[in-house]
Amino acid sequence: MTVQLSLELVGRLVLAGALGALIGAEREYRAKTAGTRTHFLVALGSALLMIVSQYGFMDPAVAGTHSADASRVAAQIVSGIGFIGAGTILVQKHAVHGLTTAAGMWVAAGIGMASAAGLYVISLSATVLSLVGLELFGLIHFRRRRGRGEQA
């Protein structure tokens, strides 16, 4: 692996971690269970696993060829994050809590995978859309509940 490729892959890890942390910061601002550190680690870990699956199994006999299918690791990341996300969901007094946090971690994993795959515009766009969606729909939800006299 060349120094240039190694530096690009480090950049992909940094981007994935930073974008995941942005989503986590929004969740932390809202005092949710999984915040900046969790989302950072989910995005970073997903990116790392994608990079390992893309570049970690190169065939030394034929320079630059791959002997593994990166999509299999991506599928396992999705399953694993689903398991972690399930741990954030609680049911108390007939109300579900943590579903948005679980979905945020799932998106952070996707952002990590996209960053690792070199899909920079897609990973940045997904981060912006996630933040806009969380803020916009959070505001709408807050106003709707306040109008009904419920606690936010």
Predicted confidence at residue 96, as pLDDT, reads: 76
**91 inside domain:** yes
Task: Answer whether residue 29 is part of any domain.
Answer: yes
Average pLDDT over residues 68-84: 79
Whether 152 is covered by a domain: the verdict is: no
Mean pLDDT computed over every residue of the chain:
82
How far is the C-alpha of 31 from the C-alpha of 19, rounded, in Å?
Answer: 19
Which residues fall within 8 angstroms of residue 80, CB to CB, at 6 or more apart?
A: none
Domain count, the chain: 1
108-119 pLDDT per residue, tens: 998 988 898 888
> Average pLDDT, stretch 77-93?
83
Residues 9-63: tens digit of each pLDDT: 899 999 999 999 999 899 888 888 778 888 898 898 888 888 877 776 665 556 5
Stated pTM of the model: 0.67
Tell me whether residue 54 is in a domain. yes
pLDDT for 132-152, tens place per residue? 888 887 787 777 777 777 665
Span 90-99, average pLDDT: 80
Residue 41 lies in a domain: yes
Query: If you average pLDDT over residues 82-90, what whole number do you get?
Result: 83
Which pLDDT belongs to residue 13?
92
Query: How far, in whole angstroms, is CA 98 from its chain's centroid?
Result: 16
Asked if the structure places residue 70 within a domain, the reply is: yes
CA distance 52 to 58: 10
Q: How many CB atoms lie within 10 A of CB 81?
A: 22
Range of the domain at 63: 3-147
